Amino acid sequence: MKRLLLGLVTIVLALAIPLPAHAGKAPDNLRELSHKLGVWIGSAVDVTALAGEADYRTVLNREFTHITGENAMKWESIEAERGVYTWEAADAVVRNAQRNRQKVRGHTLVWHNQLPTWLTEGVADGSIDAKELRKILRDHIMTEAGRYRGKIRAWDVVNEVVDDDGNLRQTIWLTHLGPGYIADAFRWAHQADPHAKLYINDYNLEWDTDKINTTLNIVKDLKAKRVPIDGIGFQGHLGIQYDYPADFPNVMRQFTDLGLEAAITEADVRMVLPVTPEKLATQADYYKRMLSTCVADRRCVEFTVWGYTDRHSWVPGWFDGEGAACIMDENLNPKPAYNALLSVRKR
């Protein structure tokens, strides 16, 4: 009886003790949210702004647990002149991450865009043949991934290899090396950095059935051949003038059921200008649904926005009359989308 009474007293006292002030508290920023959700929350980084804008740098490092060099690690930035490597911008991204307890996504080793002129012109005029091109690609992957060995959480090894009709994209890589270049790229990347997670990354995978099916088949083929592929990257470039891809959770699950980890790698939600409160509310809903999709899938480990501020957004330069795609405005003030992300909870 004494034991029973003591037990009851203990329970009563425990219930009477107030919880710490922070217990159950909503997160104040995205870094806190990242820790609560168990998902890395990241942003693409404008390296010029990182170096020259103290307010940009402060907010970046306060808010994010993961960063991606927006352009710093692309081929034309790294090796604009053949054999001459320029690492300053990429190194700055990695150093910033190391100083601020952030992980890094390497973007990207193989892409058909932002290639150096010496490479594209050499292939076009025949001075670089297929044998040499394969060696150039291998050397590029081994050099870049090798330089950052142990410092990159995940690499976008191949980027946008499927076109909008669901076919393998016609690029210099496919035309001159055949489809085997994809497997080669993953093998070389793994050889250069065995600890990095290796991803295939693409846009419109959230809803485009043809692209989804082709990418699934690529992944299944790579895994059947024991090629070291670890992840699927959904870029997440959305626009509020289009319906939200409601089947996205099921699409993600098709990939994670294959044993891949998943990441939303380049999220933004653009709108036709001008900005209105109604458009901002829709934008906020889209952002929240994307993060919620990631949180609901136990294999989704990262949610990265493609730049966090409208001050430095690629959208206006690419989509005429559109913009305001980020979670903060030009003055780094949080928009409804930012607060919508903070409201996401782990299921």
For 245-259, give the DSSP string. -TTHHHHHHHHHTTT
Q: Is the pLDDT of residue 214 over 80?
A: yes
Quick one: pLDDT at residue 179?
98
Range(s) of the domain holding residue 285: 27-342
User: What CATH number does the domain containing 286 carry?
Assistant: 3.20.20.80
pLDDT at residue 314 tops 90: yes
Which pLDDT score, from 0 to 100, does residue 21 have? Answer: 36
**CA gap 173, 112 in Å, rounded:** 8
Tell me if 9 is assigned to some domain. Answer: no
pLDDT on residue 25: 81
Residue 4 located in a structural domain:
no
Looking at the chain, the number of H-run helices and the number of E-run strands are 15, 10
Residue 32 falls inside a structural domain: yes
Number of domains in the chain: 1
Q: Kindly state whether residue 330 falls inside one of the protein's structural domains.
A: yes
16 lies in some domain: no
Rounded to whole angstroms, how far apart are CA atoms 41 and 139? 32
State how far the Cα of 264 lies from the Cα of 43, in Å rounded to an integer: 11
On the question of pLDDT at 147 being above 50, the answer is yes
Is 160 annotated in the active site? yes
Mean per-residue pLDDT, 58-82: 98
Contact of 332 with 317, CB cutoff 8 Å: no
Residue 152 in domain = yes
Closest CA to 306 of 337, 273, 344: 337
pLDDT at 250: 98
β-strands 40-45, 66-69 pairing: parallel
Taking the C-alpha atoms of residue 310 and residue 271, their distance in angstroms, rounded to an integer, is 12
Active-site annotation holder among 63, 70, 144, 160: 160
Least confident of 14-18, 95-99, 279-283, 314-318: 14-18
The pLDDT value given to residue 26? 86
Q: Which one, of 242, 266, 245, 264, lies nearest residue 326 by Cα? A: 266
DSSP state of 82: T
3-state secondary structure of 239: strand
- Determine contact, residues 189/148, Cβ cutoff 8 Å: no
Contacts with 24 (C-beta within 8 Å, 6 or more apart), sequence order: none
The confidence score (pLDDT) of residue 347 equals 73
Can you read off the two tokens belonging to residue 216?
């699934």
In a domain, 193, yes or no: yes
pTM of the model: 0.93
> Can you give the pLDDT at residue 291?
98
Q: Is 266 a catalytic residue?
A: yes
Query: Does residue 73 lie in a domain region?
Result: yes
Q: Which of 32, 144, 206, 266 is an active site residue?
A: 266
pLDDT digits (tens, 9 = 90+) for 9-54: 333 333 333 333 344 688 999 999 999 999 999 999 999 999 999 9
pLDDT digits (tens, 9 = 90+) for 166-198: 999 999 999 999 999 999 999 999 999 999 999
Phi, psi at residue 328, to the nearest 5°?
-130, 155
- Going by C-alpha positions, the residue among 334, 94, 1 that lies closest to residue 342 is 334
Task: Give the closest residue to 102 by CA, choosing from 88, 117, 92, 113.
Answer: 92
